[in-house]
Structure 1
């Protein structure tokens, strides 16, 4: 390995490592799968080591690949910093105002923002965490360029990333509380709280708000302790929680949808929206996220 490493090949390698997929990397880089594979092979030839283990479904890093990944990120960051200092990064100047519910902000969104920002050093990313309904209203008022959050009611505004059931959850090994149904909820306005209260009211079941917390961690902590029952997306149920339902006397809850809205007139918002679509496709499988053809308001 006598010649300098090609930064274009390093970028392809980093994107493949993040996406764990040649197809997903190709979407992000606007290259065919074969072109991405060829660039990785060229880098492996330069290094003289295998960097990736390929199979029919996923891509994994070898030990040498893990080592190179850290160096590759540092080299790409230095390259972009130099371009920005010398004025070559002005095309990505400005700010992208992002609003997200905690479902996203506490999950994979920060990594997606980091990767997006790394290739656009002149662009500043601002993130605000709030309840979905509030985010959608504020986006309509012009406070954000892009928002992603959850809602229980259908609407033509925005694009649905995926849908999943809202579920009653409680401590896995604690007995159910007697009397009025104790709820652990976010403060109003909250679509989960609204759906839970509506379902209980229609079932003529008395309830009380036993715990309020502005964070998902707080809500789940109350449920894990056996203090209250929490209405949350089914995907957040872990080994310390169990799902409750009709067999425990609770009414059915509606599905929730995770939605994105963005300013189609702002190029950075459109690019980041595409990055979010690709991230969801990689994590959930292309075609499985229930994408609907809805225009962004």
Structure 2
């Protein structure tokens, strides 16, 4: 039985954010507002570009359109609250909104990790088995891969959230960050959290291990295949087809693994907050830039849209 309903009205979380740097609130507000506007325009623009350009109706860009939608959702879940606590004195958030924010943030992060893994598999097939690419990455296979990703994310996210909601909560808790995170929510519990901690530990590490294994294995075979190519131009072309994705993967998993390694201490709080800003606010803005700047078809479509804008 879910216990959180009984006492959620008594639970208040205080988001400290960057409250220890009051002189930076206005500059940070303006910076994050600009980043959010670029994120929304970039990711929604990428979805539109992929839909209107037939040359981009390929498996890789199908997955990229889903990635852009996730980045838009992820940024929208996190950034507006961050902007709010930078300009108002009341940084409190009640239990239900806090759980909701954490839920959607967790769903977005897990889904993005699996999408990046699927995109790595797509690049593996494209470079290592180019003659079979159309057959292997058919529309049906892509639909099944996406269905598998979203199904597992729904299941694992439900287990994440249920493991929290079976607990009882009480009191006012400080979150030394700018959004609701798992550890802070768990610290507000007055129940035994051992089972919940085990469930979340197993699921988080299982998801990370599984997605990283797919990414690393795919790129290992890609690297071996490219090294076997005799043509220098062929090697450059092969690397260029996965350069954008490899950049995105490195940034995403690099920041997450870095946060895993940072010790939980007062001296590391600022480092954690800056790193969290990077993967919650900055990465959703960077992804459409990374995938568009190196793609000729995307740049041509953007150019045509800009040319047509005044006449529209």
State if a TM-score over 0.5 links the two structures. Answer: no
Higher-Rg structure is 1
Larger RCO (alpha carbons 8 Å, 6+ apart): 2
Name whichever structure is richer in strand by fraction.
Answer: 1
TM-score (norm: length of structure 2)? 0.23
